[in-house]
């Protein structure tokens, strides 16, 4: 794993994974291949009968993984590869910190309501970052319009988590 000399490893954790169950397993994905040296995301997984594990959370930082994808693990409980995709995608949005707490609160409220009205699952990392599960065939027009307004006002950024494939090495 890539690590800056003397730097502490930073773990990205899921406080409330959407697929939490008693039989979940936690594995790690190294984020260095995605330009996030010294960071690891702890992913919640569900063991499958074929020896693979289904992703049971919505990845915050790991590219190329989505809810329900099946992965293979190393003996050290690191995600090695995607064995089968689920067809789901992850839309991630980052709200810029603001000195206008009222405006930020309104944005968060509108995004949470839009996600709920669309019937989508989401996980928040703090109050500024959300990962949204997008099943195949989902109409995203209302949520996209809301996020585009936030982007236009220079208060948010968004991306698809499949903008890069999953990898354990740098290109």
98-154 tens-digit pLDDT: 777 888 888 889 999 999 999 999 999 998 899 999 999 999 998 989 988 888 887
Q: Is 67 exposed, middle or buried (0-12, 13-18, 19+ CB in 10 A)?
A: buried
CA distance 82 to 167: 9
pLDDT of residue 3: 43
- Give the E-state strand segments of 6-68 in sequence order: 10-12, 25-30, 39-47, 53-55
pLDDT of residue 42: 97
Question: Hey, what CATH class is 89-163 in?
Answer: alpha beta
Q: What is the DSSP string of 63-93?
A: TT--TT-EEEE-TTSBEEEEEE--S-EEEEE
Which pTM was predicted?
0.90
pLDDT of residue 8: 84
Return residue ranges of the chain for CATH 3.30.70.600: 89-163
CA distance 72 to 25: 12
pLDDT average, residue stretch 64-92: 97
3-state DSSP assignment of residue 96: coil
> Among 40-44, 88-92, 148-152, which stretch is predicted with the lowest mean pLDDT?
148-152
Q: Is the pLDDT of residue 6 over 80?
A: no
> CB-based contacts of 62: which residues, under 8 Å, 6+ apart?
29, 31, 34, 41, 43, 79, 161, 166
CB 158 within 8 A of CB 152: no
């Amino acid at each position: 794993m890539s690590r800056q000399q003397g730097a502490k490893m930073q773990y990205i954790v899921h406080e409330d994974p959407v697929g939490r169950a008693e039989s979940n397993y936690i594995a790690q994905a190294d984020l260095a291949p995605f330009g996030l040296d010294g960071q690891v995301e702890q992913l919640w997984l569900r063991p499958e009968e074929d020896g693979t594990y289904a992703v049971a959370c919505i990845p915050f930082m790991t590219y190329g993984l989505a809810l329900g994808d099946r992965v293979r693990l190393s003996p050290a409980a690191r995600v090695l590869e995607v064995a089968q995709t689920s067809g789901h995608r992850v839309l991630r949005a980052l709200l810029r910190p603001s000195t206008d707490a009222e405006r930020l609160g309104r944005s968060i409220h509108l995004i949470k309501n839009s996600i709920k009205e669309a019937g989508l699952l989401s996980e928040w990392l703090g109050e500024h970052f959300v990962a949204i599960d997008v099943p195949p065939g989902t109409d995203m027009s209302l949520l996209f319009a809301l996020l585009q307004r936030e982007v236009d006002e220079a208060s948010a950024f968004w991306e698809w988590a499949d903008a890069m494939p999953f990898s354990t090495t740098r290109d």
